[in-house]
Amino acid sequence: MSPIPTRPLTRNIARGRAPLTIGEYERAEGYVAVRDTLGNLDPAAVVQMVADSGLGGCGGGGFPTGRKWQLMPGVAQRPGPRYLVVNADEMEPGTFKDRLLLEGDPHQMIEGIILSAYAVQANAAYIFVRGEYVTAIERLNVAIAEAEAAGLLGQNILGSGYDLSIQVHGGAGRYICGEETALLNSLEGRRAIPRSKPPFPQVNGLWGHPTIVNNVETICNVPHIVRYGAAWYRDLGVNGAVGTKIYGVSGKVNRPGAFELPMGTTMRTMIEDCAGGMKPGYHLRAVLPGGASTAFLLEDQMDVPMTFADMAKRGTRLGTGTAIVLDDRTCPVGFIANLQQFFARESCGWCAPCRDGLPWVERTLKSIEAGKGVESDLDVLLEMTENLGPGRTFCALAPGAMASLQSGLAYFADDFKQHIDTKACPWT
């Protein structure tokens, strides 16, 4: 038996190396958890193991995975089809962690799906992949074919009596499909708009049947939790957190990329030790800690542990854990305007505040950046952060967009005012 891993998610991934074939994956002790579990361990025991591990959803929300699975009605209570859907529609600006897993170790993804689907007693699974992830889609399909040929997918897997099929679905390229109910609508061939909740997908999901929707990174943790146990997983974290996390860093740093680290690692460690610090001539000014839908942290907050709870205490969110660095040579107004342009274009248009409010925000910011802003524009922007905030829209797209704007108006007030007073952008 190989040494117990401390970086389980990326142990088979190496820069410049093709993903492992099924033979190589099995020689690296892949699918051991599947062989030990199917037909030998009660599905409810797998659910409890995941719950005991403390694994949280890695798509941005952090909701306890085991708890989500426990909310799915039992087979006796709701007989009929049950589904597992993997959310691989990774379109959050600045986020690229799932791509690493999908392209680098697709069999880990397949093994996670088998165990997760077995736990919730689903016999069909779908991987909803961002359409632009062409390489990921190709490698997933190859891995599925290899698993089917090896008897790890299909009918009566390994003689256990359990059946499972997996299909890869390439999305049409809409950010809103990252929202789980909009994803389900798209998968059904309908317009990708969010559904009203409740009912939640666990009860009434794909085609009206109980459905679990989990993120790629979440599912990839499952084989290791089942193999090595909940206590092992909990001990991997630091600063009171559990497990590991694939964090990312982009911006004017020396080594941008994704890094598997103990959950609870500080932002300073990520940027200075893993990403090699700022490039010569650049200084860190602020960071969006978890993608474009999170509020800024300033330089003096870099020693905060990167956990859901610690981020919330500081008025932001961990999100996807992929940090976007704002340096001192980049205009914060232009930076925020660029993000708002993305969100305005990606609104599904289902509710008026998001459909009409985000383009208004975008136009106002671009006017300020172009030197045409007036003092009252700042009041308008502040009002919009309230009108498009939590509880004012049908889903979380617009409130997420407002996170960078609201914190930016507070932290970079002098920059906004300078644009308006001088009728120009100081960075041009």
Map residue 93 onto helix, strand or coil.
Answer: coil
Structure tokens at 102: 């999908």
Residue 413 pLDDT more than 90? yes
Q: pLDDT class for 61, splitting at 50, 70, 90? A: confident
Indicate if 57 and 204 belong to the same structural domain.
Answer: yes
Indicate if 16 and 75 belong to the same structural domain.
Answer: yes
pTM above 0.85, yes or no: yes
373, part of any domain: yes
Q: pLDDT class for 1, splitting at 50, 70, 90? A: low
Residue 344 pLDDT more than 80? yes
Closest-CA residue to 397 (of 122, 254, 261, 193): 193
- DSSP for 307-338? SHHHHHHTTS--TTSEEEEEETTS-HHHHHHH
1, part of any domain: no
Indicate if 145 and 268 belong to the same structural domain.
Answer: no
239, part of any domain: no
Indicate if 99 and 122 belong to the same structural domain.
Answer: yes
pLDDT digits (tens, 9 = 90+) for 159-207: 999 999 999 999 988 899 999 999 999 999 999 999 999 999 999 999 9
The number of distinct structural domains making up the chain is 3
Structure tokens at 417: 């005012």
pLDDT digits (tens, 9 = 90+) for 355-375: 999 999 999 999 999 999 999
CATH of the domain at 308: 3.10.20.600
Indicate if 313 and 367 belong to the same structural domain.
Answer: no
- What sections of 237-299 are H helices per DSSP? 267-268
Instruction: Please give the residue range of the domain that contains residue 22.
Output: 8-234
Map residue 223 onto helix, strand or coil.
Answer: helix
Tell me, rounded to whole angstroms, the distance of Cα 353 from its chain centroid.
25
Indicate if 142 and 210 belong to the same structural domain.
Answer: yes
Query: What is the number of other CB atoms lying within 10 angstroms of the CB of residue 379?
Result: 10
Query: What is the number of other CB atoms lying within 10 angstroms of the CB of residue 317?
Result: 22
Indicate if 368 and 290 belong to the same structural domain.
Answer: no
pLDDT digits (tens, 9 = 90+) for 256-299: 999 999 999 999 999 999 999 999 999 999 999 999 999 999 99
